[in-house]
Chains A and B, each alone.
Chain A
């Protein structure tokens, strides 16, 4: 059951430009959302999160936006750097910590 969907398997962006990664969810019980970043041969690492009571959370170059009515969240990376090239997973969790992940989006930032 794909309760969390990342419809773009890949995204290519020029260095210095904005990267926008999208995520949609179907379960209205999700109340906490996270983004993870994964390099090859490593486990995913936590990047940024947002609670359902907020619509925006910013951490340096990374900003996550949440649109609850549309059941949509996005991750903005500005400016994008070649080191940001990785697979990005969106995750959503209910209050009782039932967490689901999307299929991931492979971001490539070209120098």
Chain B
């Protein structure tokens, strides 16, 4: 069974631009979560989607948004990029909301200059 895939793997953007990251979960997994990883901060929870609905949301500004499609694929969008948005963005999927174990993708490394 294929794992969680994320595209693109690396991205360089300029301050003020917007970016869209994509995540395809493991087949059969209906829950997708997004995390931001920065040195010293660990994994900061952004949001979780289940059956196309946002179920949980972390403490990030409204510039960070996401959505999930009917095939469970998810996208994350960051508008008006700031230098501090440079990070590794990880997507994780799990079978359903009752399952605790998450399976992570390799991440998208975003650099904002």
**Which of the segments B12-20, B42-50, B61-69, B76-84 contacts the partner chain?**
B42-50
Q: Of residues A44, A89, A100, which shows the largest number of chain B Cβ atoms within 10 Å of its Cβ? A: A44
Interface size range on B against A:
20 to 34
In whole angstroms, what is the CA distance A53 to B62 when docked? 37
Neighbouring A residues of B102 by C-beta, 8 Å: 46, 99
Does B25 have its Cβ within 8 Å of any Cβ on chain A? no
* 9 further interface pairs, Cβ-Cβ under 8 Å (given A6-B42, A99-B102, A102-B42): A43-B92, A43-B106, A43-B107, A46-B101, A49-B100, A97-B55, A98-B56, A100-B45, A103-B41
Q: List 24 A-B contacts (CB under 8 A).
A: A4-B42, A9-B40, A34-B101, A41-B106, A43-B4, A43-B90, A43-B106, A43-B107, A44-B43, A44-B90, A46-B103, A93-B100, A97-B100, A98-B56, A99-B33, A99-B45, A99-B100, A99-B102, A100-B45, A101-B43, A101-B44, A102-B42, A103-B40, A104-B42
Q: Residues of A with Cβ closer than 8 Å to B?
A: 1, 4, 6, 9, 32, 34, 36, 41-46, 49, 89, 91, 93, 96-104
- Residues A101 and B45 in contact, CB atoms below 8 Å apart: yes
Which of B44, B56, B59, B104 contacts A44 (CB under 8 A)?
B104
Q: Flag whether B113 is at the interface (Cβ < 8 A).
A: no
The answer on a CB contact under 8 Å between B35 and A97 is no
Report the Cα distance A99→B31, complex, angstroms: 13
- Top 7 nearest A-B pairs by Cβ distance? A43-B104, A103-B42, A101-B43, A44-B104, A46-B101, A101-B42, A32-B100
Q: Does A97 contact B97, Cβ atoms closer than 8 Å? A: yes
Q: Which residues of A contact B42 (CB under 8 A)?
A: 4, 6, 89, 101-104
Q: Is the CB of A34 within 8 A of B106?
A: no
Q: Give the docked Cα–Cα distance between A39 and B108 (Å).
A: 15
Most A CB within 10 A of own CB, among B41, B42, B101: B42
